[in-house]
Amino acid sequence: MTAPTGYKTRRTFAIISHPDAGKTTLTEKLLLNSGAIHLAGEVKERGERRRTRSDWMEIEQKRGISITSSVMTFEHDGLTLNLLDTPGHADFSEDTYRTLTAVDSAIMVLDAAKGIEAQTRKLFEVCRMRDIPIITFVNKIDREARDTLEILDEIMETLALDTAPMMWPVGAGVDFSGLIDLERGRFIAPDGKPETDAPGVEAIAERYGATQNQQIAASMEGLELSRESLPKFDQAAFEEGTLTPVYFGSALKSIGVRELLEAVCKFAPEPRTQPAAPQPVEPGDPACTGFVFKVQANMDPNHRDRVAFVRVASGTLKRGMRLKNVRSGKDLKVANPMFFFARERELADEAVAGDVVGIPNHGTLSVGDTLTDGEDVTVTGIPNFAPELLRRVHLSDASKTKQLAKALSDLAEEGVVQVFKPTLGSGYYVGAVGPLQLEVLTSRAQAEYSVPIRIEPAQYVTARWVKVNNAAQFEKFAAIHRLNIAEDRYGDPVFLAPSQWEIDRCAKDYPELEFMATKDRG
């Protein structure tokens, strides 16, 4: 086995944003700019259909549509860019978190009028946990926007992240008069076309009559202030995740998008070292290692097939090779790995670190699994989160117990919900981040497994994984809380908690048990 180097041309990233900030529009414009698609509307259409709840359910049932956007591979400037889609709906943030374990950098899209919003902050925190470098794109500059310095301040204050403006908007909304490309010292006209000259502040003011226009004058004043007070771009600080270069533009009007794409090519890091046990996986390691960060079922509605999305972490994945699933110990022949492009998919003959391939399988691969043809190793940091909603599953047709077990197991494997089986008594509890997940569960159990279920309130508010550092203490705890103990789908113990107070009390009473709100699958 020789050490591969092809990974050096890979840039694998995601776009994080609050719904409506413009992620879908920006994705489309990035693809248009790179020549991966030729018509506006191809991605947008999907985004729109995804937006409303009823349409979303329909799409979920038809499948095949959302899959194409799970990963989009395209080329630019001699590089292969893998853009991983993060589901926009807040209910599916768990899926989003896991997707972020498979990227090396992210573009954070902000709405220029709204700044940092709730979902932006949540997603940012996940990036921070993993030190993922962030490029910021302040979108919708063609509409009324907040003051540029104020936006930069907000990023610094709420995210504790240094900002280095790479562009400076001159005015916004109806007064939008172009962008100053601070990096290259040139001017980008209001229609998004770069001009060759590098006008000074005075020249712009003169050109656009800044003396008469207060907004433009304020923009220029802000630029002067920023020059004194803000740091310059620094690649090392960016890669450490402590500084973000900030771009401005309008995805809708294709302003500043080309410059953003160029920034990804120039600054986004190569595939990273993947945290793993017993030791991290280096992208240049000769052994092929990859991990599953997402599973999508029923891409072909006639067969109950599923596609596991695998991010290659090291070596070269070749079609037809055998990889070991470290969790189950079983070998898997990778017969038909697939690449996903903006509009089509293709058999993947070879993939290197940073690439994402879809591997069709019949339930042998789960989220968090590590595959390798080298020494046993398990990629870490792919979390499960304590559910914000915990509900009981009521089976309306008692003759279907077996089918229910199968449906819950399959859907949990896909990450639709988490399933907890109490160690005493029968029945199941399911955990979700949001109510839409529970609706999807009910509808898919009926449609795909003919299992009629009802979701009922539970007497518990949340669940905590119990990390047992002392078996005797766990025995004692389990004897007292028999009715609150369940297993997750890996057989790990879970405490079904009636209140936060109870969790705190147990943590105090049983100091050698840890009650964890997230579980790392590694």
Do residues 251 and 139 lie in contact, with contact meaning Cβ atoms separated by under 8 Å?
A: yes
Question: Which CB atom, from 25 or from 70, has the smaller least distance to ligand G4P?
Answer: 25
Q: CB of 245: closest distance to ligand G4P in angstroms?
A: 19
Residue 58 CA to residue 401 CA, distance in Å, equals 27
Size of the site for ligand G4P (CB under 6 A): 17
Residue 161, φ and ψ in degrees, nearest 5: -130, 125
Question: Which CB atom, from 19 or from 185, has the smaller least distance to ligand G4P?
Answer: 19
- Per rule CB under 6 A, is residue 126 in the interface with ligand G4P? no
> Residue 348 has which token pair?
């993947």
Please, what's the b/e burial string for 137-170 (b: 16 or more CB within 10 A of its CB; e: otherwise)? bbbbbbeebbebbebbbbbeeebebbbbbbbbbb
Question: Which CB atom, from 20 or from 42, has the smaller least distance to ligand G4P?
Answer: 20
> Residue 214 has which token pair?
């207060």
Do residues 161 and 242 lie in contact, with contact meaning Cβ atoms separated by under 8 Å?
A: yes
Q: Considering only the stretches 13-21, 272-280, 447-455, 460-468, report the one whose residues sit in contact with ligand G4P under the rule CB under 6 A.
A: 13-21
Beta strand pairing call for 316-318 and 330-333 = unpaired
Choosing from 140, 294, 311, 521, the residue that interacts with ligand G4P (CB under 6 A) is 140
**Would you say how long the chain is, in residues?**
522
Residues comprising the binding site for GTP?
17-24, 85-89
Residue 291 CA to residue 455 CA, distance in Å, equals 32
- Per rule CB under 6 A, is residue 188 in the interface with ligand G4P? no
Choosing from 66, 73, 96, 250, the residue that interacts with ligand G4P (CB under 6 A) is 250
Q: CB of 97: closest distance to ligand G4P in angstroms?
A: 18
Question: Which CB atom, from 46 or from 400, has the smaller least distance to ligand G4P?
Answer: 46
Query: Omega of the bond prior to 452 within 30 degrees of 0, cis?
Result: no
- Per rule CB under 6 A, is residue 207 in the interface with ligand G4P? no
Question: Which CB atom, from 17 or from 215, has the smaller least distance to ligand G4P?
Answer: 17
What radius of gyration do the chain's Cα atoms show?
Answer: 25
Question: Which CB atom, from 89 or from 130, has the smaller least distance to ligand G4P?
Answer: 89
Within 15-54, the residues that bind ligand G4P by CB under 6 A are 17, 19-25, 47
Residue 423 CA to residue 178 CA, distance in Å, equals 64
Please, what's the b/e burial string for 472-497 (b: 16 or more CB within 10 A of its CB; e: otherwise)? eebeebbeebeebbbebeeeebbbbb
Question: Which CB atom, from 261 or from 310, has the smaller least distance to ligand G4P?
Answer: 261
Q: CB of 492: closest distance to ligand G4P in angstroms?
A: 35
Q: CB of 48: closest distance to ligand G4P in angstroms?
A: 6
Beta-sheet strands, E only, within 77-133: 79-84, 105-111
Question: Which CB atom, from 49 or from 63, has the smaller least distance to ligand G4P?
Answer: 49
Please state the separation of Cα 480 from the chain's center in Å: 40
Do residues 326 and 290 lie in contact, with contact meaning Cβ atoms separated by under 8 Å?
A: no
Per-residue contact string for residues 82-111; x = within reach of ligand G4P by CB under 6 A:
------x-----------------------
- Per rule CB under 6 A, is residue 139 in the interface with ligand G4P? yes
Do residues 59 and 65 lie in contact, with contact meaning Cβ atoms separated by under 8 Å?
A: yes
Q: Write the CA distances from 63 to 72, 88, 98, 231, 497, integer angstroms.
A: 17, 17, 20, 46, 35
Question: Which CB atom, from 26 or from 463, has the smaller least distance to ligand G4P?
Answer: 26
**DSSP per-residue codes, 24-45:** HHHHHHHHHHHTS--STTHHHH
Residues comprising the binding site?
17-24, 85-89
Q: CB of 446: closest distance to ligand G4P in angstroms?
A: 29
Q: CB of 159: closest distance to ligand G4P in angstroms?
A: 18
Region of residue 51 (phi > 0: left; psi between -120 and 50: alpha; otherwise: beta) = alpha
Q: Considering only the stretches 245-253, 299-307, 337-345, 441-449, report the one whose residues sit in contact with ligand G4P under the rule CB under 6 A.
A: 245-253
Within 394-433, the residues that bind ligand G4P by CB under 6 A are none
Q: CB of 51: closest distance to ligand G4P in angstroms?
A: 7
> Residue 478 has which token pair?
């389990």
Per-residue contact string for residues 149-168; x = within reach of ligand G4P by CB under 6 A:
--------------------
- Per rule CB under 6 A, is residue 251 in the interface with ligand G4P? yes
Q: CB of 20: closest distance to ligand G4P in angstroms?
A: 4
Q: Considering only the stretches 14-22, 203-211, 263-271, 431-439, report the one whose residues sit in contact with ligand G4P under the rule CB under 6 A.
A: 14-22
Using CB under 6 A, list all residues that contact ligand G4P: 17, 19-25, 47, 88, 139-140, 142-143, 250-252
